[in-house]
Amino acid sequence: MGMDSDFPSCQVAPDDQIGELYVATRRLMTAEDQSEVATTAVETATAILDFPFSVFWEATDSGLKAEAISDPLREHVEVPDDPGQVLRHERGSWLWDHYESDETQWVLVDEEKAASDAPLHGGITVPLAEYGLLTAGTDERSEPTERETQLADILGKNVLSTLERIEREQELKRQRDNLDLLNQIVRHDLTNHLQTISGRAELLRDQCSGDALEHVDGIRESSQAAAELLETAGDLATVMRQTDWETEPVALGPVLSSVTEDITATYSDAQVTVPDEYSSIRIQADELLSSVFRNVLTNAVQHNDSATPSVVVDVIDDGDVVHVTVADDGPGIPDEQKQAVFQRGEKRPDSDGTGVGLYLVRTLVDAYGGDVWVEDNEPTGTVVGVTLLTATDGS
């Protein structure tokens, strides 16, 4: 390797070195697995140091094995598609000692130390915690400059940070996948059991009277409440796993129609009034929009002390936004509780529930870029309003 008069031990100009390091950092920020990190690390070490024989060594239980190697080194490796079969260092070897040293070092290499027939005489070793070791080798016997050592150390820190980030992301993905599976199993099985309980209670109801009938009705109500809570909890679990929200135009009418039909079927004593016709309004939302209105309507009916709970749904198209109001004739909500009911774990004063329903409503509406509020109904009761963004033609 030739020597440059301006840069005695490195042929790469300082500005080019920083540029290569910057490019590598950007690549590492988007890397998705260790293999991609290893390739980037090797290519960058070769480029910024002008040390042709670079290797990313993966740490295993038995020692170190090459996961990625530089192109110049491939000429000296018999199995280029799997360099780890040839380039290995067992526990206790000189390279393993460098791996365990936890600091960037310079090393002179003789033929006995080399893991290939490359004309390797020296290099820099950069430990990467439990993940492995990055080495950059040269065919020269001169020691690296302080700048080269610093560049290698900076690259090593960036590589290590990326590997730690990927491991965290992979662990979070495993946890999310496990939660998804648990959520599917629990919701499916519990829903089936609750449907069985509710169905058998309905059959028993025709054969009971007096106190027994009251107990059967209690069973039906409890199973119904559990089914609603299970659905809300499932929707909340979906929301909690979201990192980036993607909304799309959703037709409001069919969603409101479906939800109000379910509510009237579930609460046969309640009177739910809806507009005669829904306009063809489309709003920015997603598949969980029905959960917003289901929870608002369910709260309006459940916490109503009237003999025949009355709920009125209204829709106002205001151009860029649409307002959906749900007004009930129940006991109302004190002023000091009007905003608190949307906080996690907070409940209406008359509620025996968990307080997650309206928290889910607030979370979803915020994600859609809308707003939700509470005000008094006249002469009595509560109005819950939901404001949502109207979908544009380009949405």
Residues 6+ apart with CB under 8 A from 95: 57, 64, 89, 113, 115, 125, 133, 135
**What is the residue-averaged pLDDT of the chain?**
82
pLDDT tens by residue, 25-66 = 888 998 899 999 999 999 999 888 878 889 999 999 999 999
HSE (side-chain half, CA atoms, 13 Å) at 246: 0
HSE (side-chain half, CA atoms, 13 Å) at 144: 27
Helix-strand-coil percent breakdown of the chain, rounded to 5?
Answer: 50, 20, 35
Rounded Cα distance between 266 and 309, Å, is 13
Return the pLDDT at 55: 93
CB 151 within 8 A of CB 17: yes
Tokens for 387, please give them. 């404001």
Residue 133, beta-bridge partner list = 57, 127
Taking alpha carbons only, the member of 139, 122, 133 closest to residue 155 is 133
| Greatest extent of the chain over all pairs of C-alpha atoms, in Å | 104
Residues 6+ apart with CB under 8 A from 29: 162
Taking alpha carbons only, the member of 197, 252, 254 closest to residue 226 is 197
HSE (side-chain half, CA atoms, 13 Å) at 154: 16
Q: Distance of alpha carbon 37 from its chain centroid, rounded?
A: 22
Return the pLDDT at 10: 43
pLDDT tens by residue, 246-303 = 889 999 999 999 999 988 888 888 899 888 777 789 999 988 899 899 989 988 998 8
State yes or no: pLDDT of 348 exceeds 70: no
State yes or no: pLDDT of 67 exceeds 50: yes
Return the pLDDT at 1: 33
Q: What are the phi and psi torsion angles at 126 (to 5°)?
A: -125, 105
When pLDDT is averaged across residues 100-114 and rounded to a whole number, the result is 76
